[in-house]
Amino acid sequence: MEADAFELVSYEQWGADFFAEAVSSERILGAVNNLAGQPIDFGPMGVGPGRIAKVRAFGAIGAATAERVEGPEITYRVELPVELTFELNLQVETHTFHAELLVPLTLRARAVRGVRVFIDVTPPRSSDVQVRVQAEGIRASIMQRVANVEGELRRFVARYVAREVSKPHVEAARLIDVAAAIDRAWAHISPEATRHTVAEDLNEALETEIRENEDTFLEM
């Protein structure tokens, strides 16, 4: 097989193609979805004027979605859905609400010396977190307190995600040693079984060559 049988590209183009393939949306989602299913449970904590009202929230992180962002760098906007149920204790009565949050993350692939890839993560600000609270049939005064709780939820979830992505095991996973992966893959190109097969083929070819030219050997 000759090189002409393939479509040859420059090293620069190969590198760009490699990055696009290595840091695909499927692989990004596979890494981010390690957070999926993780429980969230906090409170009770004081909210509103005087922190008299108490809120407790519990729920879980859902499966993420990713969308490629146009630009010179390989960048994805990832959105993590979070479903929460929270209880608002007003001392005289307790109300239960259901909240749906959408948490955005920006992930950018960076080339690092030593044939490595670093996934740079920009955690969300509290103002970036979208919150939708279901509280039908609740009077206006309660809804005002819900507005205060929404702000607390935004701040909490933004801090929670920022803390998770900065944990040592997550940071370690964000640095991909491509050279080491190539070494491991290269070690399997010529496994023991293949070496035996090559040796057998060589022996057979050598025997055939000798038989076809045995007269030459006799004349030596």
List, for residues 57-75, the tens digit of each pLDDT value. Answer: 888 888 888 898 988 888 9
Across 95-99, 106-110, 192-196, 203-207, the highest mean pLDDT is recorded for: 106-110
**Cβ atoms of 174 and 118 closer than 8 Å:** yes
Q: Which residue has the higher pLDDT, 61 or 34?
A: 61
Q: What share of the chain is helix, strand, coil (3-state, %, to 5)?
A: 45, 35, 25
Share of the chain above pLDDT 90, in %: 8
Predicted local distance difference test score (pLDDT) of residue 189: 66
Predicted local distance difference test score (pLDDT) of residue 159: 87
Confidence label for 184 from pLDDT (cuts 50, 70 and 90): confident
**C-alpha to C-alpha distance for 190 and 47, rounded to whole angstroms:** 64
Q: Which residue has the higher pLDDT, 158 or 189?
A: 158
**And the tokens for 113?**
């010396």
pLDDT (tens digit per residue) in 14-31: 888 888 888 888 888 877
Task: Taking the CA atoms of 62, 67, 71 and 73 in sequence, report the sign of the dihedral they define.
Answer: positive
Write the CB contacts of 56 (distance below 8 Å, at least 6 apart in sequence): 42, 43, 44, 45, 86, 87, 89
Q: Rounded mean pLDDT of the chain?
A: 78
Confidence label for 204 from pLDDT (cuts 50, 70 and 90): low
Please state, as a whole number, how many other Cβ atoms lie within 10 Å of the Cβ of residue 66: 19
Q: Which residue has the higher pLDDT, 80 or 194?
A: 80
**C-alpha to C-alpha distance for 40 and 58, rounded to whole angstroms:** 5
